Chains A and B, each alone.
Chain A
Amino acid sequence: DAGVIQSPRHEVTEMGQEVTLRCKPISGHDYLFWYRQTMMRGLELLIYFNNNVPIDDSGMPEDRFSAKMPNASFSTLKIQPSEPRDSAVYFCASNRKDSAGNTIYFGEGSWLTVV
């Protein structure tokens, strides 16, 4: 299994620009999560989907952030317009309900720098 695949791995953008982060979950997983990691706030859950439907977006910081999951194998997290305080590592993760429990599997992360 290729694991959770994220792109881009690194992005540097100017303040005000639109940023789109992409994620392909593990095949067969029906839950997808977007996390943000910073030194100040640690790992924060932004939003998660079940069967492509957003379940909880209470962690999305503000209207500048939006996430979509048009199908079971693809999700995007968009920031428009971006600001320097959005600089962070954004992780996508996925899992599947089974007898093994609630383990989630992270992608390699997208390192975003907004200058």
Chain B
Amino acid sequence: GENVEQHPSTLSVQEGDSAVIKCTYSDSASNYFPWYKQELGKRPQLIIDIRSNVGEKKDQRIAVTLNKTAKHFSLHITETQPEDSAVYFCAASKGSTLGRLYFGRGTQLTVWP
């Protein structure tokens, strides 16, 4: 099966700084890579995703990059705000197993005002 590794496990930044979270995956057949944000006591919610035919995708302060050759993808948050504080999960899946997401272990992001 797929193995997704995520780093770092914790990340602290000052408000306004950028944050980068990195993930690697093992199965070259994986073609869909979503990122979920989970606030304390809440459910994981999709914030951005990227498919294997795209190298980068941006949505306001959030961007995701994908390097298929190296089998890694990253989440970039610019101009961080205290409300960005949460646990972020990366995941990977492939079309042959629709919806079966393999999750990383998560990154606890803390943004200090």
Q: What is the size category of the interface that chain B forms with chain A?
A: 20 to 34
Contact of A108 among B43, B95, B105 (CB under 8 A): B43
Binding site for B on A (CB under 8 A): 31, 33, 42-43, 45, 48, 50, 56, 91, 95, 97, 101-109
Q: Judging by beta carbons under 8 Å apart, are A95 and B99 in contact?
A: yes
Do B46 and A91 touch (CB < 8 A)? Answer: no
Bound-complex Cα distance A47 to B64 (A): 29
Contact residue among B49, B95, B106 (Cβ-Cβ distance under 8 Å from A103): B49
Residue in A31, A56, A104, A109 with the greatest tally of chain B CB atoms within 10 Å: A104
Minimum distance in angstroms from B65 CB to a CB of chain A: 18
Task: Find out whether the CB atom of B49 lies under 8 angstroms from the CB atom of A101.
Answer: yes
A contacts with B: majority SS: strand
B89 nearest in chain A by CB position: A43
27 of the cross-chain contacts (CB-CB < 8 Å) are: A31-B98, A31-B99, A42-B104, A42-B105, A42-B106, A43-B44, A43-B89, A43-B106, A45-B100, A45-B101, A91-B44, A95-B98, A95-B99, A101-B32, A101-B49, A101-B51, A102-B34, A102-B93, A102-B98, A102-B100, A103-B34, A104-B99, A104-B101, A106-B43, A106-B44, A107-B43, A109-B43
